[in-house]
């Protein structure tokens, strides 16, 4: 019964039909199994409504009552629709701005349920509440007098519609779902069975059973995902077609001996972990995370040196063309004593040069090829690829990473990121990788002093910056946009460039760089800035990652509240790369609590790991790395930040189950998992 029903198209369910089926499809729901796994994002206890006389301003409440009055009140520049609701204990106003059509919907005497935040303005009111009308006995049974599910819906579907459809469907499958979770897991966590969990996640019999249902489903979502990660991890460990790297220790020793400086303790530790990987029987699969300027590229060079000395090639995948050029120069500097041949391949590489580079790769005449997404094209192949290094993995995709590794002989993999990954995110996005961390900064680096500057203090900031320029130092001015738009009230880089060079810094050399410039123009500007010919560089986020100028000591970020914490930290990391004292000025007057909190955090710490944790709390995992590109898993109910203990338990259990029940194919049997149900990318939770 289960497979037949779950595979049935939702359009054939009672109350759906072709029109609603199209709306469901937009949310990724096409089959009954998808619909059953479309969980409420919250519940309301409509068996015990709060009375109006007991509510207080600031509370989120759900109230029921009768419509006493419904009227439109004209204001100077808009209209206000007001409904007065009474429950016998008191009354409260519900108000909507510029929605006069509601006058046709609300009628005196109607029984209505309202949900929203109570505020006080000439009396108690709820602004723009959610509302439902209770009209008949069925409504009393399904939509009130019980704990009621509230689903995350798109326009065109109403709560009452989907609740009625779901109520009938859940009743139909009651008692028909067979338990598939192993007894060892059920007993370990005292889980309720799958049938009871399904019933109570949609229409809970009690708040206690609702919590039991949530706990089981959250665990199952994590377990399903972690089983996939565990399988990839174990498959990688079993791989025997790995490139054997001989004399690893000698390769590392010779490179370190050629350096004019000492390694930090963290660099030495991580290099030791990489050496161990290269000596193993299975391919390296490692994530190297470290703060901006911590020396990750040098660590990667040790792996490159060893692999090349053993006769293999290296692919170095970089997110932007500017960084390709910079990394070429950095690698040449570190690897110069070893006569290593380096090539570059980007989207701007001419046809003739591209053909020549690919031929040299295929003939083994290039040891390292540094490139952007151009390295991922189908005709790009190596003669003997032994190591793939990816810088800022989250700017690519998980599938793109797999494309480079899909060879007859599996290359070693080293992924690098300057965006510190909080532990919970690491267990999901990078759960199949071993993780190395560099926290220690090179000797001589000073913490960057960071200040939040309001508009009234800009003149003081400009006076300070002029003094730094007179002392021979250089400045970044960063703006979120290239050109102003009517929709966004942000200072644009092109307009501010003109203002700064004509007024504030008149007589001083000011340059402008952004993503719309041609490659040779960008290169010329960066060369002039690097050599001190340009003192003030006005830029967009094209300089976010990797631009290295030790003489740049000041970073000014306009509209700083518009950036995420991790991005602000990356931008700040463009200064403080030399021995001088460095400064970062966050300019803005944020209007939201989140904006103010971001700027406050930035002024209190320069620790990228602390900032990453705060950023994850503020923005969530999808926005933190960019969901579609990063491979951040999206779950129905599970939350990697609040459910960390369950996540870690599911990860341990996944490895245990894979070892003790290798043939069970548990993932395919699970009802509450992404693969058997809908993609969540279009559902607003």
| Mean pLDDT across 62-84 | 88
SS3 category, 480: coil
pLDDT at 439 over 50: yes
pLDDT at 138 over 50: yes
pLDDT of 194 reads 92
* Cβ proximity of 116 and 128 under 8 Å: yes
Give domain status of residue 488, yes or no: yes
Give domain status of residue 116, yes or no: yes
* Cβ proximity of 226 and 430 under 8 Å: no
- Number of folded domains in the chain? 2
pLDDT of 240 reads 62
Q: Which range, 158-162, 187-191, 566-570, has the best average confidence (pLDDT)? A: 187-191
Q: What percentage of the chain exceeds 70 in pLDDT?
A: 88
Give domain status of residue 291, yes or no: no
| Residue predicted with more confidence, 234 or 42 | 42
User: Which of 41-45, 129-133, 518-522 is least confident?
Assistant: 518-522
| Residue predicted with more confidence, 232 or 273 | 273
Rounded CA gap, 394 and 66, in Å? 52
pLDDT of 249 reads 74
pLDDT of 225 reads 86
| Mean pLDDT across 450-464 | 92
Contacts of 297 (CB under 8 A, 6+ apart): 327, 330, 331, 334, 391, 416
Rounded CA gap, 327 and 522, in Å? 16
Which CATH number does the domain housing residue 71 bear?
2.40.50.140
Digit-coded pLDDT (tens) for 191-246: 999 999 999 999 999 999 999 999 999 999 999 888 888 888 887 777 665 667 77
| Mean pLDDT across 287-300 | 86
pLDDT at 401 over 70: no
pLDDT of 676 reads 39
pLDDT of 490 reads 67
pLDDT of 629 reads 38
pLDDT at 408 over 70: no
pLDDT at 585 over 90: yes
Give domain status of residue 630, yes or no: no
Q: How far is CA 192 from CA 187, 409, 466, 559, 646, in A?
A: 10, 46, 68, 50, 16
User: Which of 36-50, 80-94, 212-226, 459-473 is least confident?
Assistant: 36-50
pLDDT at 3 over 70: no
Strands 130-133 and 111-120, sheet pairing = antiparallel
Rounded (5°) CA angle 254-257-260: 140
pLDDT category at 293 given cuts 50, 70, 90 is: confident
Which CATH number does the domain housing residue 529 bear?
3.40.50.300
Domain with 120 in it:
48-145
| Mean pLDDT across 249-278 | 87
Digit-coded pLDDT (tens) for 521-558: 887 888 888 888 999 999 887 665 446 788 999 999 99
* Cβ proximity of 393 and 401 under 8 Å: yes
Digit-coded pLDDT (tens) for 343-360: 999 888 889 999 999 999
pLDDT of 583 reads 95
| Residue predicted with more confidence, 364 or 593 | 364
Strands 60-74 and 79-86, sheet pairing = antiparallel
Digit-coded pLDDT (tens) for 411-437: 899 988 877 777 767 777 677 788 898
pLDDT at 678 over 50: no
Query: Considering 99, 115, 145, which residue would you say is the last residue of a domain?
Result: 145
Mean pLDDT of the residues in the chain = 84
Query: Considering 571, 605, 639, which residue would you say is the last residue of a domain?
Result: 605
Residue in 45, 41, 33 with CA at minimum distance from that of residue 204: 45
pLDDT of 156 reads 77
| Mean pLDDT across 81-92 | 92
| Mean pLDDT across 267-273 | 92
Its sign, for the CA torsion 237, 242, 243, 245, is: positive
Give domain status of residue 417, yes or no: no
pLDDT of 486 reads 57
Burial bucket for residue 150 (CB in 10 Å: 0-12, 13-18, 19+): middle
Give domain status of residue 264, yes or no: no
Give domain status of residue 58, yes or no: yes
pLDDT category at 261 given cuts 50, 70, 90 is: confident
Query: Considering 145, 163, 194, which residue would you say is the last residue of a domain?
Result: 145
User: Which of 388-402, 447-461, 631-645 is least confident?
Assistant: 388-402
| Residue predicted with more confidence, 37 or 189 | 189
How would you write 591-613 as a 3-class SS string? Answer: CCHHHHHHHHHHHHCCCHHHHHH
One DSSP character per residue, 164-198 reads HHHHHHHHHHTTTPPP-S-HHHHHHHTPPPHHHHH
Give domain status of residue 598, yes or no: yes
Rounded CA gap, 476 and 496, in Å? 13
């Amino acid at each position: 019964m289960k497979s037949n029903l779950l595979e049935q198209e939702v359009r054939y369910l009672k109350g759906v039909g072709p029109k609603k089926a199209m709306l469901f499809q937009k949310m990724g729901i096409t089959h009954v199994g998808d619909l059953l796994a479309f969980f409420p994002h919250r519940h309301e206890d409509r068996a015990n409504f709060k009375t109006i006389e007991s509510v207080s301003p600031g509370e989120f409440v759900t109230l029921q009552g009768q419509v006493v009055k419904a009227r439109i009140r004209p204001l100077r520049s808009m209209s206000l629709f007001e409904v007065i609701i009474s429950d016998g204990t008191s009354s409260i106003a519900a108000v909507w701005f510029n929605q006069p059509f509601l006058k046709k919907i609300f009628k005196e005497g109607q029984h209505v349920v309202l949900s929203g935040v109570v505020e006080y303005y000439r009396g108690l009111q709820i602004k723009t509440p959610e509302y439902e009308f209770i009209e008949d006995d069925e409504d009393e049974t399904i939509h009130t007098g019980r704990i009621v599910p509230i689903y995350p819906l798109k326009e065109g579907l109403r709560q009452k519609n989907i609740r009625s459809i779901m109520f009938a469907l859940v009743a139909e499958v009651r008692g028909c779902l067979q338990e598939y979770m192993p007894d060892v897991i059920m007993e370990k966590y005292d889980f309720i069975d799958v049938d009871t969990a399904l019933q109570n996640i949609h229409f809970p019999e009690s708040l206690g059973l609702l919590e039991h249902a949530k706990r089981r489903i959250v665990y199952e979502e994590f377990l399903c995902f972690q089983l996939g990660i565990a399988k990839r991890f174990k498959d990688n460990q079993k791989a025997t077609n790995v490139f054997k790297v001989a004399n690893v220790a000698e390769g590392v020793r010779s490179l370190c001996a050629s350096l004019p400086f000492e390694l930090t303790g963290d660099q030495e530790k991580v290099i030791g972990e990489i050496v161990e990987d290269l000596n193993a029987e299975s391919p390296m699969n490692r994530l190297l995370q470290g703060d901006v300027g911590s020396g990750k590229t040098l660590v990667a060079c040790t792996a490159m040196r060893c692999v090349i000395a053993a006769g293999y090639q290296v692919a170095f995948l970089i997110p932007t063309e500017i960084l390709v050029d910079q990394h070429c120069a950095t690698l040449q500097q570190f690897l110069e004593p070893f006569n290593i041949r380096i090539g570059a391949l980007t989207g701007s590489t001419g046809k003739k040069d591209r053909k020549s580079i690919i031929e040299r790769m295929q003939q083994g005449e290039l040891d390292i090829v540094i490139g952007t997404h151009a390295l991922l094209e189908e005709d790009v192949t190596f003669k003997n690829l032994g190591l793939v290094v990816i810088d800022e993995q989250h700017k690519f995709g998980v599938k793109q990473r797999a494309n480079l590794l899909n060879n007859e002989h599996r290359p070693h993999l080293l992924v690098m990121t300057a965006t510190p990954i909080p532990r919970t995110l690491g267990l999901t996005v990078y759960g199949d990788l071993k993780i190395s961390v560099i926290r220690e900064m090179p000797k001589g680096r000073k913490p960057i002093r960071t200040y939040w500057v309001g508009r009234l203090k800009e003149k003081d900031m400009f006076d300070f910056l002029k003094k730094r320029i007179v002392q021979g130092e250089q400045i970044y001015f960063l703006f979120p946009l290239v050109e102003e738009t009517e929709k966004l009230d942000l200072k644009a880089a092109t307009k501010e460039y003109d203002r700064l060079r004509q007024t504030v810094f008149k007589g001083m050399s000011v340059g402008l760089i952004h993503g719309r410039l041609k490659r040779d123009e960008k290169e010329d500007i960066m060369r002039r800035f690097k050599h001190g010919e340009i003192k003030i560089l006005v830029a967009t986020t094209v300089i976010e990652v990797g631009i290295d100028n030790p003489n740049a000591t000041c970073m000014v970020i306009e509209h700083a509240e518009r950036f995420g914490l991790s991005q602000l930290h990356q931008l700040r990391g463009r200064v403080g790369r030399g021995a001088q004292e460095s400064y970062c000025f966050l300019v803005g007057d944020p209007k939201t609590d989140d904006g103010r909190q971001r700027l406050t955090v930035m002024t209190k710490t320069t620790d990228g790991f602390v900032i990453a944790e705060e950023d994850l709390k503020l923005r969530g995992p999808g926005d933190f790395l960019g969901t579609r590109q990063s491979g951040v898993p999206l779950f129905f109910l599970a939350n990697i930040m609040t459910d960390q203990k369950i996540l870690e338990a599911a990860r341990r259990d996944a490895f245990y189950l894979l070892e003790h029940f290798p043939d069970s194919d548990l993932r395919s049997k699970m009802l509450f998992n992404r693969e058997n149900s809908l993609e969540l990318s279009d559902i607003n939770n």
